[in-house]
A and B are shown apart, each in its own frame.
Chain A
């Protein structure tokens, strides 16, 4: 039997977590091994929540700034929304193609229930095309091209609880393209005390963002660069809508963390990092954590080396010098940049190696030495 990498994502997820919540995932693994899929030629479809009808059976998507105008029988850039006779449908609601129980640190959300598990899920599709996408085998494919199976919100949340996960995380691919599923999972999770979180590129229209944000406990946004040119050439998106999303998230008050993947020569200049940190400090405040993470060559960007640690450390310093209280480094296990430090007394509060918590000295969300309150979702 030959299995390609896209099938292996489900198999891998299933295998890794089988001892934790076996019934659901064994079913997924079995389906993958059979080579069958819920995503056949005739995908289950639900009418999309954010679009408007145009003339002659066309529709305009109002979910993300791509604002695709889509003719009958065609799909938007995300590949997961289809116009069928003048009605726009999402093809991925409840159609999970990857699930896994991860530590919340993997998202990374360092100020959200440290050490807790996040029941993580994704569908196929994405509304941009990052040349350096780490999850391109999910995000850059259409739902019928990956192994997937039906996992309605209530079942997803039940699986999370069976696994002892206090959080859900819409992640791996791009939750914006399955925003209705994100919304409904959040509603189901909140109903039973599980905290819903999202890992997103933030490339979403304000109305759709505002409608779902109040249901979320935390969101991590990938700010891929502080230059619009980078967004257009490397991401096929735009910077401005992402900055707008960050401000809306801050305004609504949902816990926010930012990740910046530093790609050598493309977005790692001191000037750009400085501009980014200065903007975050001015517009979002000093307490929004910013994670600078290490790039590894993949997908269409295989001709660049991994980010030098020196570049990461330079960004770390620039961020702190700009007045940001919580600057982290990622994909460099064991580096002191993984730790949470009290901005007042300088003591280490949470010590991490990779995704593992070595110690957590927070007491009721405060530094035990100087009692400074540390912002985050701690309970």
Chain B
């Protein structure tokens, strides 16, 4: 694991690495395997971040994730004005442990300022009800962005990816051309970690079928389906508040103030970072590792083997603004 500043990453990447916009295949050249951009985002439990803090944290993490000068530049490198951008938020745990509205809206603003029409930015979850419980306002259309549940609007036929056979939400199969996983940093009683990759369970009709064996290889199989793999531009993890035990639902005894926001174009690296933070907090509390607690994080190795990203801690580059 290496720690860099954004400037050091930019120097390492070389001049012109982010030249141009995300037309055509340019966004692919902005992918940074193993790089996780980090920014401070401190908030007390149950308290909002504040709009300025949220904006600053989101912009810094995003810029750091690709080595850009600013969050807007990073967004321009990842998203094209022609894109329909779907931001999948994980709201299962309710308001305290879901992505904060102010952070999600900061990302929406950055993408919009990078040239994507606000009508083409959709924040979504499985149902309107989950979004509302997490504090989002449902907007079927209009400004400042659309915010809707997929509400069981699935493809009619199942499609297979490795061991899974699922109907995907039309939001990801059809509507969106670019995707963002916006998760949180939390423990999961079966997979060990629920951060960015497990969030994609929310776009298949039958996630309940794929929780055995620590959700492995199923999490990787969902993420490597072309609907996800070919469209995923970014993973963002709201770690202002995190949970090291008792997940995936909110459990106060497992919550801690991590005070970070992470962004990465590498979904495996993002989850690896989340895993490390959870293990650190568990160690600090004298708790056993996730593996010793009977829920080893297996899915990251499967995801790395499938070519989705970097799961080697030695190759993880943590970049701060």
Contact = CB atoms under 8 A, between A and B. Distances in A.
B152 A131 contact: no
B158 interface: yes
B227 interface: no
Given A144-B152, A145-B152, A300-B158, A77 B211 contact: yes
Contact of B246 (A42, A56, A75): A56
Interface in A281-310: 299-300
Interface string B110-148: 000000000000000001110000000000000000000
A79 interface: yes
B205 A73 contact: no
Contact of A57 (B156, B158, B211, B251): B251
B208 interface: yes
B154 interface: yes
B206 A41 contact: no
Contacts of A251: none
B158 A299 contact: yes
B92 interface: yes
Could you say which interface size class chain B belongs to? 20 to 34
Contacts of B160: 300
A21 interface: no
A129 B205 contact: no
> For the complex, would chain A's binding face be called helix, strand, loop or mixed by DSSP majority?
loop
A76 B248 contact: no
A71 B248 contact: yes
A129 B207 CA distance: 12
Given A4-B156, A73-B249, A300-B165, A142 B211 contact: no
B93 interface: yes
Given A41-B127, A144-B152, A145-B152, A71 B208 contact: no
Given A4-B156, A58-B189, A300-B160, A71 B209 contact: no
Nearest to B149: A41
B209 A77 contact: yes
A244 interface: no
A170 to B, nearest CB: 21
A69 B189 contact: yes
Interface in A1-31: 4-5
Given A56-B246, A78-B208, A236-B209, A71 B189 contact: yes
A74 interface: yes
Interface string B145-167: 00000001010101010000100
B212 interface: yes
A140 interface: yes
Interface in B204-263: 205-206, 208-209, 211-212, 246-249, 251
A51 interface: no
Contact of A73 (B93, B156, B158): B93
A141 interface: yes
B249 A72 contact: yes
Given A41-B128, A58-B189, A145-B154, A140 B248 contact: no
Nearest to B206: A140
Contacts of A78: 208
Given A57-B246, A77-B211, 18 more contacts: A56-B246, A57-B249, A57-B251, A58-B189, A68-B211, A71-B188, A72-B251, A73-B248, A74-B189, A74-B248, A74-B249, A77-B208, A78-B208, A79-B206, A129-B206, A141-B205, A142-B205, A142-B208
